[in-house]
């Protein structure tokens, strides 16, 4: 059928290349105009560039060169906000792999485009329910994607694309997951809808019959280029080449009753048969016989390239045997010498199948092993200069010099940044005192009831009973006041770690450079002994609760950062793409998609932060933090084992209860787990 202006979508000299070791041209030389209300099909074999071309139309992929014009606006000239507004206002998209948000029900998924536009939530709900009813899912409003079949998920995706009444509908294999009967009914329903609303529709499909049945025009792609474009019957009647004719073979009876011209099939490329080498070894590594002379000469280093664990195990056995044999010889104990010499030879001569290395690898392994043996022999037999040379260095001049410079640097920072440190002290003390005053002012049954209700609601009967036992223990043994102080300190540390850790984790997920820069720092922070954290805290903040919280934050924040980064990075890219396709801004993607899907990882990070903060309670008491840690330190100082044990058990309960509540809550709320 003929189409008149206006042209809604125009592609001009479109080129997309992916650069790398093996550059790939995804699409090239694309020039195309699509008119208002037209149903247009993009066809071709897998890898022909159909989906890539479709994603250029709404700007999910930026072209290497050329331009995409939608409604007279060139996409590359639009800002991110303008492009998002265009997608939200004018476009809907259906994805081949659905792109549904696993933490949202079918109804909530369909509501997403309306939420992104800022519409009223009540009207959003009614419109979404109406659209789901139109695609036959009126009885599945509150079911989650994992509870739906593939075909039902695809229909949810279709309802989501149509709920905002888009002027342009992009569909990537929209009917591939549907049963034949449902597919035809939904195709008819969709055609009626797009025709009545004059929605410009672009469909990507592998199915020629589907394309010719639904589309006004079709374009066939091969190797990223349009081979032929035109109305379906014209393409069938006048194929551009044998490949086009073969693509449409067998469907003429169902389309136009036009017989296809006799065209021989394009022969498939012959796949050369490669001969597999018997050894499966690379050119640089070849398996060779493990002859006796070679085993005696090389020893464990012959295992180095293919079995490094065996190399080091053999070297350590030989080194130990050599040391014992040499010590026996030095002491005149020849039976001992003979026994360990036999162990040395046995370790050297054991036959094991292995691959040898190129000369460089073998020489380096031999050098390491023989250096160890020579040093051991020097240690056993030489009592002169070699002993002095091999003895540990005891001169601490450099240590003293560097430590003096560090002391000067700390003193300079204390003076220069005094105002900043004072501000940190005020902020930390405010958080601590706010939590402490709140918990102290409330009658003790209030926090008890709140904690019991949380345990029952989120974690179930078993954790509820554990919480009852923990609270009874704390109250009966008179440890409530100390527990409140401990909870205030730990709560302040956890709150600060969350406030700092989640934003840093999000930024690290976004930036590979920041992620690589933070990784060694976080490694150091997680491997340093916990006592070490007291040094900078005391140096800059003296003693008391503030340095205790600062040290605890530094110790406990790495898992919060790491797990936030991990959670954000594990959100499926198809889900993020679906949100952007419906006009979401980066902030909306973060709040409505990434953070909800990363919630299990965030909860695990909070859990780890709580546990690590509580592990610092006793250490922090050494600098005046107070609380249950002070009771443990006092008991140790006075050698009161019983008192120390009881206070320590209270600390264990403080860690155990929130840990179990969080873990049970994560398991119970399955919508946040199975994605």
DSSP assignments along 28-75, one per residue? EEEEEEEETT-EEEEEESTTSSHHHHHHHHTTSS--SEEEEEETTEEG
Contact 539, 407 (CB under 8 A): no
Non-local CB neighbours of 472 within 8 Å, separated by 6+ positions? none
Residue in the block written with tokens 């597999």 = 276
pLDDT at 496 exceeding the cut of 80 = yes
pLDDT at 257 exceeding the cut of 60 = no
- Alpha-carbon torsion, ordered 425, 429, 431, 432, to 10 deg: 140
Query: What's the pLDDT at 391?
Result: 60
pLDDT at 566 exceeding the cut of 90 = yes
Contact 657, 467 (CB under 8 A): yes
Considering only CA atoms, which of 653, 405, 428, 431 is closest in space to residue 554? 428
**Rounded Cα–Cα distance for residues 160 and 582 (Å):** 9
Residue 360's pLDDT band (boundaries 50, 70, 90)? low
Task: Say whether 218 sits in a helix, a strand or coil.
Answer: strand
Strand partners, 203: 41, 171
Higher pLDDT, 390 or 314: 314
pLDDT at 59 exceeding the cut of 70 = yes
Burial class (CB in 10 A: 0-12, 13-18, 19+), 456: middle
Task: Say whether 92 sits in a helix, a strand or coil.
Answer: strand
Considering only CA atoms, which of 574, 534, 565, 561 is closest in space to residue 550? 534
pLDDT at 2 exceeding the cut of 60 = no
Mean pLDDT of 257-272: 37
Strand partners, 468: none
pLDDT at 297 exceeding the cut of 80 = no
**Rounded Cα–Cα distance for residues 113 and 94 (Å):** 12
pLDDT at 558 exceeding the cut of 90 = yes
Burial class (CB in 10 A: 0-12, 13-18, 19+), 590: buried
Whether the upstream peptide bond of residue 6 has omega within 30° of 0, thus cis, is yes
Query: What's the pLDDT at 564?
Result: 95
pLDDT digits (tens, 9 = 90+) for 427-448: 988 998 898 888 888 888 999 9
Residue 292 has a CB neighbour count (10 Å cut-off) of: 9
Sheet holding 24-35, edge to edge: 24-35, 7-18, 65-70, 73-74
Least confident range of 10-24, 281-295, 335-349, 645-659: 281-295
Query: What's the pLDDT at 117?
Result: 82
Task: Say whether 288 sits in a helix, a strand or coil.
Answer: coil
Query: What's the pLDDT at 252?
Result: 54
Mean pLDDT of 160-170: 88
Q: At 84, list the tokens.
A: 């998002």
Contact 540, 414 (CB under 8 A): yes
Q: Give the largest Cα separation in the chain, rounded.
A: 108
Mean pLDDT of 154-164: 86
Burial class (CB in 10 A: 0-12, 13-18, 19+), 38: buried
Mean pLDDT of 142-158: 85
Parallel/antiparallel/unpaired status of strands 168-172 and 200-205: parallel
pLDDT at 281 exceeding the cut of 50 = no
Residue 531 has a CB neighbour count (10 Å cut-off) of: 11
Considering only CA atoms, which of 328, 325, 379 is closest in space to residue 348? 325
Residue in the block written with tokens 């380096």 = 364
pLDDT at 272 exceeding the cut of 60 = no
Residue 393's pLDDT band (boundaries 50, 70, 90)? low
Mean pLDDT of 605-617: 89
Burial class (CB in 10 A: 0-12, 13-18, 19+), 362: middle
Length of the chain: 675
Residue 609's pLDDT band (boundaries 50, 70, 90)? very high
**Rounded Cα–Cα distance for residues 94 and 581 (Å):** 9
Sheet holding 168-172, edge to edge: 91-94, 168-172, 200-205, 39-44, 217-222, 225-230
Higher pLDDT, 547 or 304: 547
Non-local CB neighbours of 223 within 8 Å, separated by 6+ positions? 48, 49
**Rounded Cα–Cα distance for residues 443 and 26 (Å):** 68
Percent of the chain topping pLDDT 90: 15
Residue 669's pLDDT band (boundaries 50, 70, 90)? low
Query: What's the pLDDT at 494?
Result: 92
Query: What's the pLDDT at 88?
Result: 86
Strand partners, 217: 40
pLDDT digits (tens, 9 = 90+) for 74-117: 998 888 888 888 888 888 888 877 788 888 889 988 998 888 88
Query: What's the pLDDT at 562?
Result: 94
pLDDT at 384 exceeding the cut of 50 = yes
Contact 500, 557 (CB under 8 A): yes
Q: How far is CA 621 from the centre of its chain?
A: 37
pLDDT at 629 exceeding the cut of 70 = yes
Rounded alpha-carbon distances, angstroms, from residue 293 to 209, 346, 354, 359: 73, 13, 15, 18
């Amino acid at each position: 059928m003929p189409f008149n202006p206006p042209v809604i979508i125009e592609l001009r000299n479109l080129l997309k290349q992916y650069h790398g070791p093996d550059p790939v041209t995804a699409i090239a030389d694309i020039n195309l105009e699509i008119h208002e209300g037209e149903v247009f099909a993009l066809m071709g074999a897998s890898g022909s560039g159909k989906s890539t071309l479709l994603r250029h139309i709404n700007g999910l992929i930026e072209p290497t060169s050329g331009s995409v014009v939608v409604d007279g606006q060139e996409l590359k000239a639009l800002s991110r906000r303008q492009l998002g507004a265009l997608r939200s206002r004018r476009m809907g998209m259906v994805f081949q792999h659905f792109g549904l948000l696993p933490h949202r029900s079918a109804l909530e998924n369909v509501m997403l485009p309306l939420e992104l536009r800022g519409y009223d939530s009540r009207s959003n709900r009614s419109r979404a329910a109406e659209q789901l009813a139109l695609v036959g899912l009126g009885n599945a409003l509150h079911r989650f994607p994992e509870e739906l079949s593939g075909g039902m998920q695809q229909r949810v995706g279709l309802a989501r694309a149509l709920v905002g009444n888009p002027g342009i509908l992009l569909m990537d294999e929209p009917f591939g997951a549907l049963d034949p009967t449902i597919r035809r009914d939904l195709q008819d329903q969709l055609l009626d809808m797009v025709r009545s609303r004059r929605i410009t529709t672009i469909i990507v499909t592998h199915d020629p019959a589907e394309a010719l049945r639904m589309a006004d025009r079709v374009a066939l792609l091969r190797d990223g280029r349009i081979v032929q474009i035109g109305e379906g019957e014209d393409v069938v009647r006048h194929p551009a080449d044998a490949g086009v004719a073969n693509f449409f073979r067998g469907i003429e009876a169902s389309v136009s009753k036009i017989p296809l011209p006799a065209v021989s099939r394009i022969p498939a490329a012959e796949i050369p048969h490669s001969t597999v080498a018997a050894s499966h070894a690379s050119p640089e590594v070849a398996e060779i016989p493990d002859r006796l002379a070679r085993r005696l000469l090389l020893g464990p280093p012959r295992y180095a390239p293919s079995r490094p664990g065996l190399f080091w195990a053999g070297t350590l056995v030989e080194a130990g045997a050599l040391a014992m044999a040499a010590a026996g010889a030095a002491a005149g104990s020849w039976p001992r010498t003979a026994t360990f010499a036999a162990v040395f030879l046995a370790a050297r001569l054991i036959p094991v199948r292995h691959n040898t290395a190129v000369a460089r690898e073998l020489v380096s392994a031999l050098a390491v092993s023989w250096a160890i043996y020579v040093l051991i022999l020097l240690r056993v037999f030489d009592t002169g200069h070699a002993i002095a040379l091999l003895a540990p260095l005891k001169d601490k001049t450099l240590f003293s010099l560097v430590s003096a410079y560090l002391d000067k640097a700390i003193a300079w920072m204390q003076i220069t940044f005094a105002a900043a440190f004072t501000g940190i002290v005020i902020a930390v003390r405010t958080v601590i005192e706010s939590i402490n005053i709140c918990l102290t002012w409330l009658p003790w049954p209030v926090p008890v009831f709140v904690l019991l209700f949380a345990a029952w609601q989120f974690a179930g009967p078993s954790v509820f009973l554990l919480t009852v036992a923990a609270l009874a223990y704390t109250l009966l043994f008179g440890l409530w006041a100390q527990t409140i102080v401990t909870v205030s300190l730990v709560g302040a540390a956890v709150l600060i770690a969350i406030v700092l850790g989640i934003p840093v984790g999000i930024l690290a997920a976004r930036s590979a450079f920041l992620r690589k820069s933070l990784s060694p720092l976080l490694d150091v922070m997680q491997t340093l002994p916990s006592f070490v954290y007291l040094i900078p805290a005391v140096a800059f903040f003296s003693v008391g609760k503030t340095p205790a919280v600062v040290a605890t934050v530094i110790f406990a924040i790495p898992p919060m950062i790491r797990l936030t980064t991990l959670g954000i990075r594990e959100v499926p890219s198809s889900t993020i793409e679906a949100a952007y396709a419906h006009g979401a801004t980066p902030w909306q993607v973060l709040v409505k998609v990434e953070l909800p899907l990363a919630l299990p990882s965030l909860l695990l990070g909070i859990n780890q932060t709580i546990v690590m903060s509580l592990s610092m309670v006793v250490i922090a008491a050494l600098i005046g933090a107070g609380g249950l840690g002070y009771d443990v330190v006092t008991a140790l100082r006075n050698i009161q084992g019983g008192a120390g044990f009881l206070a320590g058990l209270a600390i264990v309960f403080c860690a155990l209860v929130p840990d179990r509540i969080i873990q049970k809550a994560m398991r119970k709320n399955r919508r946040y787990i199975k994605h």
